[in-house]
Amino acid sequence: RIKRFVQPMAIHLEIERRLSTMIRQGYLSRNPLSPKYYQNLRMLNDLKKNNVNYLSDTFSPLKEPLCTTASCFSIIGMSGVGKTTAIERLLLMYPQVIVHTQYSNKPLYRTQIVWIKIDCAFDGSLKTLCKIFFKAIDDILGDTNYFKDYGADKNSTATMMIHMAYLSSLYGIGLLVVDELQNLVNPKNSPTDTLNFMVTLVNTIGVPL
């Protein structure tokens, strides 16, 4: 069992403080009872229904982005020093899914995904990253089929990105953790596109990264 034992160190406490702050700060501008929140969700839903395949593979569909309070940070280190282990153990301190039935003594039926952890696509592809995201939500919720509905190869990358943004807003995702970012270093793909999309999730949708 010694291989599964983790001794908390000062760096773990520092990362936990950052994760805790990021999750809570990220929700400040995403109140599900706010009219602005539903306006944004409706805008994303309209884009999703229109199946905007005419867009280029660049994510910039929102004309009126949210006043986001989300932030991001990265952990960089040599392979095997415990980056993934630290993050995974700290994430387990939070419930991954919360099913709400009321808020302030008023009915509020929402399924909230507090955090999602995915691995960056092995080929650095943004399209593959979107598919991994859809599959992760299906695995977490157990009764959805977003991978089949939204991850079809016929969908453009831009369309998948809109679906991804919509689901992030619909389920109030509190934190998105992307591991294995070194896969972006691939001569066949542009890491700039993927990084720009991740920044857009933070700035436009308000998902801490």
- At residue 98's C-alpha, the angle toward residues 38 and 26, to 5°, is 55
Q: For 56-89, what is each residue's pLDDT tens digit?
A: 445 554 555 556 777 888 899 998 888 999 999 9
Q: For 109-161, what is each residue's pLDDT tens digit?
A: 889 999 999 998 887 788 888 899 999 999 999 999 999 999 988 888 878 88
Q: How far is CA 104 from CA 33, 38, 99, 100, 170, in A?
A: 11, 19, 15, 11, 20
Q: For 173-205, what is each residue's pLDDT tens digit?
A: 999 999 988 887 777 667 777 777 777 777 766
Query: What is the reported pLDDT for 105?
Result: 85
Query: What is the reported pLDDT for 104?
Result: 81
Q: For 18-62, what is each residue's pLDDT tens digit?
A: 999 999 988 887 888 878 777 777 877 777 777 554 444 455 545
Query: What is the reported pLDDT for 62?
Result: 52
Query: What is the reported pLDDT for 66?
Result: 53
The whole-model pTM stands at 0.84
